A and B are shown apart, each in its own frame.
Chain A
Amino acid sequence: MRVKRGLAEMLKGGVIMDVVTPEQAKIAEDAGACAVMALERVPADIRRDGGVARMSDPEMIEGIQAMVSIPVMAKVRIGHFVEAQILEALGVDFIDESEVLTPADETHHIDKFNFSVPFVCGATNLGEALRRISEGACMIRSKGEAGTGNIVEAVRHLRSIIGDIRRITQADSAELFDWAKKLQAPLPLVQEVAELGWLPVPMFCAGGIATPADAALAMQLGAEAVFVGSGIFKSDDPAPRARAIVEATTHFRDASILAKVSRGLGAPMTGIAMDEINQRYAERGW
């Protein structure tokens, strides 16, 4: 477990970028990404195209592995443990059991203890985060709403998770039983959160980050690193934007650096408001 959680620890303070080709992976590495997420379509395109979104073609993942030296992650459908077995066989460094793909199981997530490769899972609230950790997730990412370029949902989820962590640290031992019941999460994990004042695994932010300021907002709210999906390669000029988001994630409290790196990046992805979307990916997962 320490070895699996260890890689999550190494990615802290960094930016994990969605890429769909080896060329994009190279741009991401050149820009200072600490890892790339290999997938067939970025969330904005999945949203536009509809249909069933699945694990990427192994050939495409291998192409990206051959192109970069940083960790390569890839997504599987919720509950699709065979896709996970395939990614593990490919030597992928981290698996994202992701709501962005079409779920394969409407009740069960993958038993992640069966794998030696670490998993990251999304969460919208603390109970969901702890259920994923109880299944063996080594990293939690707040879900946000992928493919929208709109940070509002990520903020909601981060505030919900971190707010409840703060409240739990103030609870007495008897109240923790009630918290476990309300959160529908295992009591030992609730007690661990009360003790640590944090999740037992790193928590990153995903879903809706489109600008350096968005990345710094997530970090200031308490995220320990960020995932950027459509925000980079759906913008006008991906390379400088990617570099700027890397700088902003490191210097997230330094407003003068944030001002400097936010200049002249061209147009960000257009983005969509929440009342314009008909499918909320964040509602997938149980």
Chain B
Amino acid sequence: MQSVVGDLKHEVTQLPMPTVGVLALQGAFNAHAQALRQLNVDVREVRLPQDLDGVDGVVLPGGESTTMSQLLLTSGVFEVLTQRVEDGLPVMGTCAGLILLAKRVLDARPDQVSCSVLDVTVRRNGYGRQIDSFEADIAVTGLETPLTAVFIRAPIIEEVGSGVEVIAQHNGVPVAVASQNVLAASFHPELTNDVRFHELFLHMISSGSIVRNDR
């Protein structure tokens, strides 16, 4: 299988400033917005369906997936978001955001929704409670040096479907994955000052596909 991430250094900087929506119903949306602004992205907070108009990509942050699930439904964002992502809108999900993208979620509330666009099985709070939260330096495909990954009551990726590439592992367990227009991690790249994971997402937006074009 081809690598999902190419050589980002040139492509990101050449392109016009993309507009990226950050789902701002609950959670660490501000930290994502700050990381994206460092990369000269026009950031838009998404609380209502119309906030998705004209965005080039969308980020689903960490937070409580049960809370976000409910607010996605009451705000009407869920339907529009799912449609846009199914139609190919690039999306990045971290922690709870991963849960909101996964096709199969274990230990979820029965009424919890997911966009079901990423062929993985995740278990909510799979790494345990807050006292089990941790940090680790992990190698990520496409990044030259390891990334410090912060895991907070993180979901664990238990199964990965055939169309999904694992781009980072920790102790043999997948912690970041990519497939077509979806990039997802069980950790929090937004909690460090290192914005390289967000650069991967901008690469996905700018190249129209995360599959590397071997030019």
Contact = CB atoms under 8 A, between A and B. Distances in A.
Given A3-B150, A14-B27, A94-B130, A70 B63 contact: no
Given A14-B26, A93-B130, A6 B150 contact: yes
Interface in B172-198: 188, 191-192
Nearest to B111: A30
A29 B109 CA distance: 10
Interface stretch (A31-39, A101-109, A205-213): A31-39
A88 B125 CA distance: 18
Contacts of B130: 7, 71, 91, 93-94, 117-118
Interface stretch (B5-13, B67-75, B205-213): B67-75
Given A2-B191, A14-B67, A224-B30, 5 more contacts: A32-B67, A33-B67, A250-B71, A251-B75, A254-B48
B134 A3 contact: yes
B62 interface: yes
A3 B75 CA distance: 31
Interface string B53-86: 0000000001110110011001100000000000
Contacts of A247: 71, 74
A9 B71 contact: no
B117 interface: no
B3 interface: no
Contacts of A238: none
A69 B109 contact: yes
A12 interface: yes
Interface of A: 2-3, 6-7, 9-14, 29, 32-35, 69-71, 88, 91, 93-94, 116-118, 224, 246-247, 249-251, 254
B177 to A, nearest CB: 21
B107 interface: yes
A246 B67 CA distance: 9
A69 B112 CA distance: 12
A34 to B, nearest CB: 4
Contact of B129 (A32, A33, A93): A93
Given A2-B135, A69-B107, A12 B63 contact: yes
Main secondary structure of the interface of A (DSSP, over half): loop
Contacts of B151: 3
Given A2-B150, A34-B67, A35-B64, A250 B131 contact: no
Contacts of A69: 66, 107, 109, 124-125
A29 B64 CA distance: 10
A33 B29 CA distance: 17
24 contacts: A3-B134, A7-B130, A9-B188, A9-B191, A12-B30, A13-B24, A13-B26, A13-B63, A14-B63, A14-B64, A34-B64, A70-B66, A71-B153, A91-B129, A91-B130, A91-B131, A93-B129, A94-B130, A118-B130, A224-B30, A246-B67, A246-B70, A250-B24, A250-B25
B131 A10 contact: no
Contacts of A254: 47-48
A10 B64 contact: yes
B95 interface: yes
A117 B131 contact: yes
**Across the A-B interface, the 8 shortest Cβ-Cβ residue pairs:** A93-B130, A34-B64, A13-B26, A32-B70, A6-B152, A9-B28, A14-B26, A32-B67
Contacts of A3: 133-135, 150-152
